[in-house]
Structure 1
Amino acid sequence: MLIGYMRPSQDDPTCSIQENLLNNYSCQKIFIEEHSSAKRRTQLDHMMAHLEPDDKIIVEKLFVLADSTRHLVELLEQIDEKGAFLCTLKEGIDTSDERGYSFKAIVHHLAAFQSDVISEKTKQGLYEAKQKGITTGRPRKPDENVKRAIVMYESKKYSLAEIKAETGISKSTLYRYLEN
């Protein structure tokens, strides 16, 4: 049986992209998570519990299925124990293909997967911070320190190291303010 699995992400919050891809594969059953959280993945648990030999799970990409490299390894072991297979559309992985993959390809896919994990968690964190009204990014230097650093620099009595020690304003930050 072809089994599709989807879960929301920052780039596909309604799973519409994943749904379009899975519809092309004529999945007999599709499991859809209601949230993107790594916890309480009830549909994933249900799907894994009911896998039969020769079933094939189809996902858009590895990150849809797993939240970390360790989680991916655990899921792959469960899939293998049940005699089932995994197909990822983005990475082009199909564990039912007996030819296997080169080590280089495997490492490349794992690196891309880890990058997806980090990217998704960063996007989620930024989104949550924005919802709470928290300003993201590097904090700006206090204006009085910048003004004092400029006065010190223009007096030509202080070295850049002394200005930085006194005000906490780096050379690059000072030059950036001087250009404006």
Structure 2
Amino acid sequence: MIESYLTGLVVCGGIIIAIGAQNAYVLGQSIRREHHWWSAGLCMTSDVILFTLGMFGVSAALMAMPQALEVLRWLGVVFLGWLAVQALIRAGWGRSALETDTATQRSVKGVVFTTLAVTLLNPQVYLDTLLLIPSIGAQQEDAASFVAGASSASVLWFGGLAWFGSSMAPVLSKPAAWRVIDGLIGLMMAAIALQLAIGGL
């Protein structure tokens, strides 16, 4: 039970930290201090729901088709490798600083709708929550504990983005900070992809 929980925590934590559209949006909201807890809370809730649906649905499918494990394994390797390449490219070329101008504040409704769009209209979210993470969780002894661990990682990550993003706005708004973050993300994703390729699921 504890092992399954920790596996879910580590696996999901390693994947969710990859700065994609969802994470960058939440971080941007936090740096601008613009209803960032609403945004982070929606992302947490979406992850918990998708983890639960994906975990038990994929588990049933894998029990019926064990050969699908190899397909999922290599899809995971390709996907994580792609994330690593994208992050390392961003680290090399850099990206623009996030805008921290608070002159124009949007309404809570506007932030909520945008967060839902960034979350639910992003194919990467479904690859993570309905394919990659559940394919690893299906190998655990306690599926519920794995989902709890994965959900905890989401809560900790988005809670951290909301809290530290707002408190560290002067530092995180600089392009140099983004290069460091992207470099670390790229190395982490590459390491996970390599482990999955060599050690399997």
TM-score when normalising by structure 2: 0.26
Of Structure 1 and Structure 2, the greater strand share is in 1
Asked which structure has the greater RCO (Cα within 8 Å, sep 6+), the reply is: 2
Of Structure 1 and Structure 2, the greater helix share is in 2
TM-score when normalising by structure 1: 0.28
